[in-house]
Amino acid sequence: MSLLVVGLSHRSAPVSVLERAALVGDEQVKLVQDTLAAEPATEAAVLATCNRIELYADVDKFHAGVAELSTLLAQHTGVGLDELTPYLYVHYEDRAVHHLFSVACGLDSMVVGEGQILGQIKDALALGQELHTAGRLLNDLFQQSLRVGKRAHSETGIDRAGQSLVTFGLEQLAQDAPVAEWARGKRALVIGAGSMSSLAAATLARAGVAELVIANRTLERALRLAESLAQQHAATPAAITVAGAETLHEGLVARAVPRDRVAAELPHADIVVSCTGATGLVLTAEELRTALAQRAACPPGAESAPGPEVSLLDLAMPRDIDAAAHRIEGLRLVDIESLAEAAAEPSGAAGTSAGAMAADVDKVRAIVSAEVAAFGAAQRAAHITPTVVALRTMAADVVTSEIARLEGRLPGLDDKQRSEITQTVRRVVDKLLHAPTVRVKELASTPGGAGYADALRELFDLDPQAVAAVSRADGSARTAEPNDPKGGRA
């Protein structure tokens, strides 16, 4: 195994750099394809979230791999290599496995223990499988990371600390008040209908907002989300309105509108959450000032009169909302940068006691360490399997050849005699090979055990092409396997 990861995250880089380095559009696809086309890499996958960009690859040369992956990240993010390099981190082999398992458990998240990362890891694996850039190693690695993440959440109390960024962001907007108390009765506008925006909409619906507007470039997707939330939160007669048509439901007032209607909806919104994949700003400072002016023009005491302040939550990377909103009176903006600052405070990332959270984190770290050791042992043992298979195939060919020679020298053998001789020779060969092949598999699972496969090939003069053929067949079979049914989105 020669697993290499090169990346940057909120732990290594300021948000301003992460924002510029964000992969937009089909850049993720191009990045993994170009990585696979690069000489040092035989497999590739990219994990890109709002606060991390990581490129995983199976490489045959460490230094060449680091240089190539760093260059590719610079090319596809548009940040110069000299500027990007100080913020990059590199993990290799077991340290790379440890890193991904820690990420999957939420230990490396901005908000420790958050579970949203599991869905993002699943998406990274699905993209690698779709593009055929993830082979045996990365398939095994990412699928196991999903299982490790789920194990951590089911066997420890990390969920108590593991708020999503959405929840954490809303808590920052609510300041000292409970989110449900702060949000109750307000009008909310959610821009986008992807996983993070959907989570935000669901969280606001549970918190008791009076009205929820979903604005999305694809109206049908916004409509499905609005209908689902309205049906889940039945309480009083309400309506889902789409493009002027109404469908009555018992529940939350939810409306779906196309994204070009955001400017018209903005003056009526008390809470705005935005998380899109747009390459430019979705809400500019000028649009926000215009919306505030329209809010101010609403007659006091009117039924549709908005509240005194607009709360903005920007979870996009790069940002959706103009950072100048921080300086506009009447607006309160929480974005990835301010979330990172809040998470760095001693009490910013969890509502549980520090002692309980520390104990949960220690338990998760113990799980990660044990799983890394098990994964490494399994990978090292698997590394020698093609050599053992090639050895046994060679032995079987020798038996077949010698039996054929014997039949030529003793043509008078009847079928019973021939069968008995053949089985006796095979039993002798099997017994001679059994102990060394079992032992070499055990030794191969230990650190540094990869050398035993090389020794076996050298001692028995095995054809490298025969070993490679077994490896290719095994890799193809593993790649073709469907996703682990337990590896779904958290």
Give the residue numbers marked as catalytic: 50
Q: Sheet of 52-59: strands edge to edge? A: 41-49, 52-59, 3-9, 89-92
- Distances, alpha carbon 403 to alpha carbons 21, 148, 397, 432, in Å: 65, 50, 10, 18
Q: How many CB atoms lie within 10 A of CB 278?
A: 17
Cα distance between residue 445 and residue 455, in whole Å: 15
Cα distance between residue 352 and residue 341, in whole Å: 19
Strand segments, DSSP code E, in 146-210 are 187-191
- Tell me: cis bond preceding 318? Omega within 30 of 0 counts: yes
Strand segments, DSSP code E, in 297-386 are 310-314, 331-334
Identify the CA nearest to 378 among candidates 434, 451, 444.
Answer: 444
Residue 307 sits at φ, ψ, to 5 deg, of -70, 175
Cα distance between residue 379 and residue 373, in whole Å: 10
The DSSP secondary structure of 220-251, one letter per residue, reads: HHHHHHHHHHHHHT-SSEEEEEETTEEEEEES
Q: How many CB atoms lie within 10 A of CB 360?
A: 22
Cα distance between residue 141 and residue 154, in whole Å: 20
Q: How many CB atoms lie within 10 A of CB 425?
A: 16
Q: How many CB atoms lie within 10 A of CB 320?
A: 24
Both tokens of residue 384?
């020698």
For 461, left (φ over 0), alpha (ψ -120 to 50), or beta?
A: left
Q: Where are the alpha helices (DSSP H) in 24-135?
A: 27-37, 62-77, 81-84, 94-104, 116-130
